[in-house]
Structure 1
Amino acid sequence: MSVYDKLKELNISLPPVAVPAAAYVPFVQTGNLVFLSGHIAKKDGKAWAGQFGRDMTTDEGKAAARAVAVDLLGTLHAAVGDLNKVKRIVKLMSLVNSTGDFTEQHLVTNGASELFGQVFGDKGAHARSAFGVAQIPMGACVEIELIAEIG
């Protein structure tokens, strides 16, 4: 099954590449690797603001991380032209806006990891890091960056 058939089955429409909010580019390719800049969680077109351990639940975080993954897919599509060229999702790095006593960053990040597995199957299994941070630009609850290998 093509990646696009899988996206259709999951009722996912790829968004356009977001305009960077600072001095960077949305993606860079070197050799067979594509590095996507961090994407923040958005809700209703604005930063999905909040902090885990204060005013957001882990389940809300999984939904936010999944939303970030959809945005990352849109940027990856723009970078490579065809998501079927993806040989592997190599690594995710997830920053989770959290209080000092919140310890479920890994579960929040599962929202993105699980979507990549659904979309790419075995090619979506990846290495990853999930960090708790004191703040993310615009107060966003989650920011995720991605590295992919293309063929």
Structure 2
Amino acid sequence: MTERLRDGMRSALKNSPWKLIVLPGTESRSKSGMIIPDGRTDIPLMMIEVFLRTQEHDPHAIIECKRIAGSDTHLCREYIVEGVDRFASGKYGENHAVGFMVGYVLSDTSVAAASGVNAYLSRVSRNADHLVPIAIIDFPTWHSRHTRAEPSSPVDLHHAFLEFADVLDE
């Protein structure tokens, strides 16, 4: 699914004024002194103008993708532990103030997926990390803010849940 999303993003950007490059998923190192990569980013993005100005080769934005179903507590846990927490810990986008997550909804709806994630967060006493609906585009999206140990600034995550349940049932 991530390859299809990546292809769709590349296709949409062909006629776009945005100067973005959608890179393939890559191994990454969460700390500059690491020799061996300790993670894999699903969809790294690079802004051409930023690259030309700074010669910064690391991705300028990261999209992490996870499977999700609001009624599946295991998938909701994985969305947080293997997705959100990687941004909060600095494993992904340590130098970024903003990150992005996409949930592939395997059953139910995007609203049910966000509710399932919030139910998991409530069970583990992380109410401050709840996903809150936000109107950025004409599509249901959510926002969450997470504290970090280092750097001390929080990370804001934007979440989109793409519904595939009907497609998968066919």
TM bin (shorter chain): 0.3 to 0.5
Q: Which has the higher contact order (CA 8 A, sep 6+)?
A: 1
State which structure, 1 or 2, has the greater radius of gyration over its C-alpha atoms: 2
